[in-house]
Protein backbone atom coordinates (compact mmCIF):
# COMPACT_ATOMS: atom_id res chain seq x y z
CA UNK A 1 0.00 0.00 0.00
CA UNK A 2 1.24 3.46 -0.88
CA UNK A 3 0.88 5.90 1.96
CA UNK A 4 0.75 9.64 1.32
CA UNK A 5 3.64 11.38 3.02
CA UNK A 6 2.76 13.72 5.88
CA UNK A 7 5.01 16.51 7.15
CA UNK A 8 4.00 18.50 10.22
CA UNK A 9 5.74 21.67 11.35
CA UNK A 10 5.77 22.00 15.13
CA UNK A 11 6.55 25.64 15.82
CA UNK A 12 6.61 25.04 19.59
CA UNK A 13 6.62 28.27 21.66
CA UNK A 14 7.97 30.45 18.88
CA UNK A 15 6.51 33.46 17.15
CA UNK A 16 4.00 36.21 17.71
CA UNK A 17 0.77 36.22 15.73
CA UNK A 18 2.38 38.62 13.26
CA UNK A 19 5.43 36.37 12.86
CA UNK A 20 3.25 33.28 12.45
CA UNK A 21 1.27 35.05 9.73
CA UNK A 22 4.45 36.02 7.90
CA UNK A 23 5.80 32.47 8.06
CA UNK A 24 2.52 31.01 6.81
CA UNK A 25 2.53 33.40 3.85
CA UNK A 26 6.15 32.49 3.08
CA UNK A 27 5.37 28.76 3.14
CA UNK A 28 2.39 29.23 0.83
CA UNK A 29 4.55 31.28 -1.54
CA UNK A 30 7.17 28.54 -1.86
CA UNK A 31 4.67 26.17 -3.48
CA UNK A 32 3.42 27.24 -6.91
CA UNK A 33 1.10 24.25 -6.74
CA UNK A 34 0.02 22.02 -3.82
CA UNK A 35 2.68 19.44 -2.90
CA UNK A 36 2.04 15.71 -3.10
CA UNK A 37 2.66 15.43 0.63
CA UNK A 38 0.12 16.39 3.27
CA UNK A 39 1.33 19.46 5.15
CA UNK A 40 0.28 20.38 8.69
CA UNK A 41 1.24 23.54 10.56
CA UNK A 42 1.16 23.49 14.37
CA UNK A 43 1.66 27.07 15.57
CA UNK A 44 1.33 28.26 19.18
CA UNK A 45 -2.25 28.43 20.46
CA UNK A 46 -2.28 32.24 20.19
CA UNK A 47 -1.64 32.05 16.44
CA UNK A 48 -4.04 29.24 15.52
CA UNK A 49 -6.83 31.58 14.46
CA UNK A 50 -4.62 33.71 12.22
CA UNK A 51 -2.89 30.74 10.58
CA UNK A 52 -6.30 29.14 10.00
CA UNK A 53 -7.48 32.32 8.27
CA UNK A 54 -4.45 32.42 5.96
CA UNK A 55 -4.51 28.68 5.24
CA UNK A 56 -8.21 28.57 4.39
CA UNK A 57 -8.71 27.25 0.87
CA UNK A 58 -5.07 26.19 0.54
CA UNK A 59 -3.33 22.83 0.91
CA UNK A 60 -2.18 23.68 4.42
CA UNK A 61 -3.88 21.91 7.34
CA UNK A 62 -3.95 23.24 10.88
CA UNK A 63 -2.77 21.33 13.94
CA UNK A 64 -2.53 22.03 17.66
CA UNK A 65 0.47 21.18 19.82
CA UNK A 66 -1.50 19.77 22.76
CA UNK A 67 -5.02 19.37 24.16
CA UNK A 68 -6.86 18.48 27.35
CA UNK A 69 -9.03 15.38 27.48
CA UNK A 70 -12.10 17.10 28.91
CA UNK A 71 -14.47 19.03 26.68
CA UNK A 72 -14.99 21.86 29.14
CA UNK A 73 -14.68 22.73 32.81
CA UNK A 74 -12.46 24.16 35.52
CA UNK A 75 -9.09 23.43 33.92
CA UNK A 76 -7.27 26.75 33.98
CA UNK A 77 -4.85 27.22 31.11
CA UNK A 78 -6.07 24.24 29.09
CA UNK A 79 -7.86 23.97 25.73
CA UNK A 80 -10.35 21.34 24.57
CA UNK A 81 -11.03 19.46 21.35
CA UNK A 82 -14.21 21.48 20.61
CA UNK A 83 -12.21 24.70 20.97
CA UNK A 84 -9.59 23.46 18.52
CA UNK A 85 -12.19 22.27 16.03
CA UNK A 86 -13.89 25.67 16.14
CA UNK A 87 -10.59 27.27 15.06
CA UNK A 88 -10.27 24.88 12.15
CA UNK A 89 -7.78 22.37 13.51
CA UNK A 90 -7.67 19.02 11.77
CA UNK A 91 -4.77 17.53 13.72
CA UNK A 92 -3.45 17.54 17.26
CA UNK A 93 -0.03 16.45 18.49
CA UNK A 94 -0.28 14.21 21.55
CA UNK A 95 2.49 13.07 23.88
CA UNK A 96 5.38 15.10 22.49
CA UNK A 97 8.56 14.30 24.39
CA UNK A 98 8.78 17.86 25.70
CA UNK A 99 5.32 17.46 27.20
CA UNK A 100 6.39 14.18 28.76
CA UNK A 101 9.77 15.37 30.04
CA UNK A 102 9.14 19.00 30.98
CA UNK A 103 5.48 18.98 31.99
CA UNK A 104 5.05 15.55 33.51
CA UNK A 105 2.60 14.06 31.04
CA UNK A 106 2.26 10.34 31.68
CA UNK A 107 1.36 7.45 29.42
CA UNK A 108 -2.04 7.37 31.14
CA UNK A 109 -2.79 11.06 30.53
CA UNK A 110 -1.57 10.79 26.94
CA UNK A 111 -4.02 7.93 26.43
CA UNK A 112 -6.85 10.17 27.61
CA UNK A 113 -5.76 13.03 25.36
CA UNK A 114 -5.54 10.80 22.30
CA UNK A 115 -8.91 9.23 23.06
CA UNK A 116 -10.48 12.69 23.27
CA UNK A 117 -8.85 13.78 20.00
CA UNK A 118 -10.09 10.74 18.10
CA UNK A 119 -13.54 10.76 19.69
CA UNK A 120 -13.89 14.43 18.81
CA UNK A 121 -13.22 13.85 15.12
CA UNK A 122 -9.68 15.20 14.91
CA UNK A 123 -6.64 13.26 13.74
CA UNK A 124 -3.97 12.53 16.31
CA UNK A 125 -0.20 12.62 15.88
CA UNK A 126 0.95 10.32 18.69
CA UNK A 127 4.58 10.85 19.66
CA UNK A 128 6.65 7.98 21.04
CA UNK A 129 10.37 7.62 21.65
CA UNK A 130 13.17 6.73 24.02
CA UNK A 131 15.65 8.80 26.01
CA UNK A 132 19.40 8.44 25.46
CA UNK A 133 20.03 6.34 28.57
CA UNK A 134 17.17 4.02 27.60
CA UNK A 135 18.72 3.46 24.18
CA UNK A 136 22.12 2.88 25.74
CA UNK A 137 20.57 0.29 28.04
CA UNK A 138 19.00 -1.52 25.10
CA UNK A 139 15.46 -0.58 26.20
CA UNK A 140 14.36 1.35 23.11
CA UNK A 141 11.66 -1.07 22.02
CA UNK A 142 10.50 -1.77 25.57
CA UNK A 143 9.89 1.96 26.06
CA UNK A 144 8.25 2.53 22.67
CA UNK A 145 6.03 -0.54 22.95
CA UNK A 146 4.78 0.53 26.38
CA UNK A 147 3.95 4.01 25.08
CA UNK A 148 2.07 2.55 22.11
CA UNK A 149 0.19 -0.07 24.10
CA UNK A 150 -1.10 2.36 26.71
CA UNK A 151 -1.90 5.22 24.32
CA UNK A 152 -3.75 3.04 21.82
CA UNK A 153 -5.74 0.99 24.31
CA UNK A 154 -9.33 0.87 23.09
CA UNK A 155 -8.69 2.63 19.77
CA UNK A 156 -10.85 1.28 16.96
CA UNK A 157 -9.12 -0.11 13.86
CA UNK A 158 -11.20 1.92 11.41
CA UNK A 159 -10.49 5.14 13.28
CA UNK A 160 -6.78 4.30 13.50
CA UNK A 161 -6.57 3.68 9.77
CA UNK A 162 -8.18 7.03 8.95
CA UNK A 163 -7.06 9.41 11.67
CA UNK A 164 -3.97 8.11 13.48
CA UNK A 165 -0.41 9.19 12.73
CA UNK A 166 2.50 7.99 14.83
CA UNK A 167 5.65 10.07 15.21
CA UNK A 168 8.76 8.22 16.33
CA UNK A 169 10.94 10.84 17.98
CA UNK A 170 14.03 9.60 19.82
CA UNK A 171 14.31 12.08 22.67
CA UNK A 172 18.10 12.25 22.37
CA UNK A 173 17.75 13.61 18.82
CA UNK A 174 15.25 16.41 19.47
CA UNK A 175 16.77 19.86 19.22
CA UNK A 176 20.27 18.45 19.63
CA UNK A 177 21.31 18.44 15.99
CA UNK A 178 22.00 14.73 16.39
CA UNK A 179 19.40 12.86 14.39
CA UNK A 180 18.96 9.12 14.34
CA UNK A 181 20.59 7.54 11.31
CA UNK A 182 18.20 6.43 8.59
CA UNK A 183 18.91 2.83 9.61
CA UNK A 184 18.11 3.54 13.26
CA UNK A 185 14.87 5.31 12.34
CA UNK A 186 13.82 2.52 10.00
CA UNK A 187 14.61 -0.18 12.55
CA UNK A 188 12.29 1.26 15.19
CA UNK A 189 9.61 2.32 12.73
CA UNK A 190 9.55 -1.17 11.21
CA UNK A 191 9.09 -2.55 14.74
CA UNK A 192 6.22 -0.11 15.22
CA UNK A 193 4.65 -1.29 11.96
CA UNK A 194 4.96 -4.93 13.04
CA UNK A 195 3.35 -4.10 16.38
CA UNK A 196 0.52 -2.29 14.59
CA UNK A 197 -0.12 -5.42 12.51
CA UNK A 198 -0.51 -7.42 15.71
CA UNK A 199 -2.71 -4.73 17.28
CA UNK A 200 -4.94 -3.74 14.36
CA UNK A 201 -4.34 -6.21 11.52
CA UNK A 202 -2.36 -5.91 8.29
CA UNK A 203 -4.61 -3.53 6.37
CA UNK A 204 -4.88 -0.98 9.16
CA UNK A 205 -1.18 -1.20 9.97
CA UNK A 206 -0.32 -0.54 6.34
CA UNK A 207 -2.61 2.49 6.29
CA UNK A 208 -1.19 4.18 9.41
CA UNK A 209 1.54 6.68 8.65
CA UNK A 210 4.66 6.81 10.81
CA UNK A 211 6.68 10.01 10.88
CA UNK A 212 10.22 10.51 12.08
CA UNK A 213 10.95 13.44 14.37
CA UNK A 214 14.28 14.61 15.74
CA UNK A 215 16.59 17.21 14.16
CA UNK A 216 15.13 16.74 10.68
CA UNK A 217 16.82 19.14 8.27
CA UNK A 218 16.88 19.70 4.53
CA UNK A 219 20.29 18.01 4.46
CA UNK A 220 19.14 14.70 5.95
CA UNK A 221 15.50 14.59 4.87
CA UNK A 222 15.97 12.69 1.61
CA UNK A 223 17.83 9.77 3.17
CA UNK A 224 15.43 9.56 6.10
CA UNK A 225 12.34 9.74 3.91
CA UNK A 226 13.68 7.04 1.59
CA UNK A 227 13.24 4.43 4.33
CA UNK A 228 10.21 2.19 3.67
CA UNK A 229 8.54 2.78 7.04
CA UNK A 230 9.29 6.51 7.29
CA UNK A 231 6.17 8.19 5.92
CA UNK A 232 7.07 11.78 6.66
CA UNK A 233 8.45 13.99 9.38
CA UNK A 234 7.49 15.89 12.50
CA UNK A 235 9.72 18.93 12.07
CA UNK A 236 10.71 21.28 14.86
CA UNK A 237 13.24 24.08 14.39
CA UNK A 238 13.56 23.58 10.64
CA UNK A 239 9.85 24.32 10.20
CA UNK A 240 10.46 27.92 11.27
CA UNK A 241 12.29 28.67 8.00
CA UNK A 242 9.98 28.48 4.99
CA UNK A 243 12.40 27.32 2.30
CA UNK A 244 13.97 24.68 4.56
CA UNK A 245 10.55 23.37 5.54
CA UNK A 246 9.46 23.32 1.90
CA UNK A 247 12.55 21.28 0.99
CA UNK A 248 11.64 18.69 3.61
CA UNK A 249 8.07 18.54 2.31
CA UNK A 250 9.30 17.99 -1.25
CA UNK A 251 11.77 15.29 -0.18
CA UNK A 252 9.02 13.46 1.67
CA UNK A 253 6.68 13.71 -1.29
CA UNK A 254 9.33 12.52 -3.74
CA UNK A 255 10.36 9.57 -1.60
CA UNK A 256 6.82 8.22 -1.29
CA UNK A 257 6.02 8.94 -4.94
CA UNK A 258 8.87 6.63 -5.94
CA UNK A 259 8.27 4.07 -3.22
CA UNK A 260 7.36 0.53 -4.23
CA UNK A 261 5.45 -0.02 -1.01
The CATH code of the domain at 6-257 is: 3.20.20.70
Q: HSE of 123 in the Cβ direction (CA atoms, 13 Å)?
A: 23
| C-beta of residue 124 within 8 angstroms of C-beta of residue 99 | no
- Using alpha carbons, select from 207, 249, 247, 215 the residue that is nearest to residue 232: 249
What 3 state SS string does 223-257 have? HHHCCCCCCEEEECHHHHCHHHHHHHHHHHHHHHH
pLDDT in tens, 183-197: 999 999 999 999 999
Rounded CA separation 87/41 (Å): 13
- Using alpha carbons, select from 104, 9, 100 the residue that is nearest to residue 47: 9
pLDDT in tens, 198-223: 999 999 999 999 999 988 999 999 99
Domain segments of the chain as ranges: 6-257
Mean pLDDT of 39-65: 98
Q: Is the pLDDT of residue 34 over 80?
A: yes
Q: Which residues are catalytic?
A: 96, 169
Amino acid sequence: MKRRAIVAGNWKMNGTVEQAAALTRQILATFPKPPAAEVVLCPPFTALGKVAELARGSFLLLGAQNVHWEGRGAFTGEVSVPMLKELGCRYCVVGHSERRQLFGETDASIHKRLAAVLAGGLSGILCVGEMLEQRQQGKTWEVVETQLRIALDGVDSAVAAQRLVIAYEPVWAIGTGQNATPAQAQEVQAQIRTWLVQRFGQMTAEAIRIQYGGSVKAENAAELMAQPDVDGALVGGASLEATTFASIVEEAADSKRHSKR
